[in-house]
Amino acid sequence: MSLLILFIYACITAVVVHALLNLCTRHANRLPPGPTPWPIVGNLPHLGQSPHRSLAALATKYGPLIHLRLGFIDVVVAASASVAAQFLKAHDANFASRPPNSGAKHIAYNYNDMVFEPYGPRWRMLRKLCLVHLFSNKALNDFRHIRQEEVAILTRALGGAGQSIVQLDKLLNLCISNALSRVMLGKRVFGDGSGGEDPKADEFKDMAAEVQVLAGEFNIGDFIPALDWLDLQGVTKKMKNLHTRLDSFLNTILEEHKTGSNNSRVSGHNHFLSMLISLKDDADGNGPKLSDIEIKALLLNLFVAGTDTSFNTVEWAIAELIRHPKILKQAQQEIDTVVGQDRLVTELDISQLTFLQAIVKETFRLHPATPLSLPRIASENCEINGYNIPKGSTLLTHVWAIARDPKIWTDPLKFQPTRFLPGGEKPNADVKGNDFDLIPFGAGRRICAGMSLGVRMVQLLIATLVQAFDWELANCLEPENLNMEEAYGLALRRAEPLMVHPRPRLSPHVYTSG
């Protein structure tokens, strides 16, 4: 016990000395402005319970480029479009890697995944595999029918709900998970194709949500390495337990494939897992090699990032439309004009639905799936806006604050899709990383690899739910009283799930045809 006390005192002394030295050199290095750090913990207390809101408030006070000292780590926050463009465009190569963090270590197979893999040949190989086989235009078009089939199953499930109350996120998760798994694995992971709720799907949804919460935690051990082993917040223990459950889920998928219980082709196309395993088993030595761990890490990325963020966005959109019935009615009228009421909208119809596309963009703006983009790390010293950004600094791009910047957006807190229509303030804005006013998927080299799939899936789901149903809130709740509070995490979820009565509005056969 005496040795432990001595060790703790030594750690504290080292931390205090380091903090004092940092305070002395702060101005000499001309770091960006920011709040004065506390001893030892630095600016960690400034983050509060909702770091995205706390950092947005700090940007209002200190400007769009902020420096924080979180424990021993320099952190810079880009909270305006112009500053974000300097980091993610002019200095993109310098910020192409991720900083070390406990989530990548304990959940994502010790950095063996695509999201946290350091920038280099291995990362480029993993990204290329996904872009070619899952996210290219050809792949997306080849598997369009799968997305439309799963959305039709969801529509039938909602249409048959009758007077019952529906927790929308559960069915959205089921739909998106099965659409993704049919392409990745050649089969539905959950359910029997009826679109009804599934306990396994609920369990996976809870695990995916826990990933987003834990990955969004500012774990003290990441910023004060000497305290990492103490796991003061209990985060590491939770991450390890979650990893065990996720690994069991992924091992089951791999074992099913190896025992031949899974069909290896989808409508004439090799599914993604079959292709990955072929790389692992290829004996000629010419192609890239993947281990089981790398395959599971990649599947984990795709399942978690591909489901949780998408259904959260759709849920936010429906909540906003319920609160704005005139906008909902206008969207329904547009779809009725283009599609009619005798069939469901398809992906091929979306290009003609300009108001629907504006609704999707406004949802991405006001409720970005990731409020603070995944962190990046500076490989070398650089200068931004006349300030020194030290090598090893962590970069956070404040997507949420940029999308609510009153210098860019008129009435930024208002849900107003017309801002993206001809004659509006941003008629040509896109979400593909070219317009830094609106970067829900990030930008630069580490932009979300699944952006194209995510946009297609979100557009189709929102269009279908708008076309096929009128929406009433559970328990006779008035729309203006709907709770729109956020639950902070890596993904920005609703604090309360959306409980609704869907009311069919199309021809009856639409909800029964297979």
Strand order through the sheet with 376-377: 65-70, 73-78, 394-397, 376-377
Q: How far apart are CA 320 and CA 350, in angstroms?
A: 20
Using alpha carbons only, give the angle 325, 326, 329 rounded to the nearest 5 degrees.
Answer: 85
Which residues, 6+ apart, have CB-to-CB distance to 320 below 8 Å?
327, 362, 363, 366, 367, 415
List, as one string, the DSSP characters of 384-396: ETTEEE-TT-EEE
334 within 8 A of 357, measured Cβ to Cβ: no
81 within 8 A of 437, measured Cβ to Cβ: yes
List, as one string, the DSSP characters of 176-191: HHHHHHHHHTSS-SSS
The packing angle between helices 354-366 and 325-338, to 10°, is: 140
- Residue 494 is given by DSSP the state E
448 known member of a binding site: yes
* Core vs surface per residue 79-112: b (16+ CB within 10 A) or e: bbbebbbbbbeebbebbbbbbebbbbbbbbbebb
Return phi, psi of residue 344, to 5°: -80, 150
Using alpha carbons only, give the angle 485, 489, 491 rounded to the nearest 5 degrees.
Answer: 90
Alpha helices in 351-450 (DSSP H): 354-366, 399-402
Q: What is the 3-state secondary structure (H, E, C) of 78-145?
A: ECCHHHHHHHHHHCHHHHCECCCCHHHHHCCCCCCCCCCCCCCHHHHHHHHHHHHHHHCHHHHHHCHH
What is the sign, positive or negative, of the torsion defined by CA atoms of 181, 187, 190, 196? positive
358 within 8 A of 420, measured Cβ to Cβ: yes
Strands (E), 196-341: 265-266, 269-270
- The 3-state DSSP class for residue 67 equals strand
Which residues, 6+ apart, have CB-to-CB distance to 329 below 8 Å?
none
Return phi, psi of residue 250, to 5°: -75, -35
Which residues, 6+ apart, have CB-to-CB distance to 199 below 8 Å?
none
* Core vs surface per residue 319-334: b (16+ CB within 10 A) or e: bbbbbbeebbebbbeb
Residues comprising the binding site?
Answer: 448
Residues comprising the binding site for heme?
Answer: 448
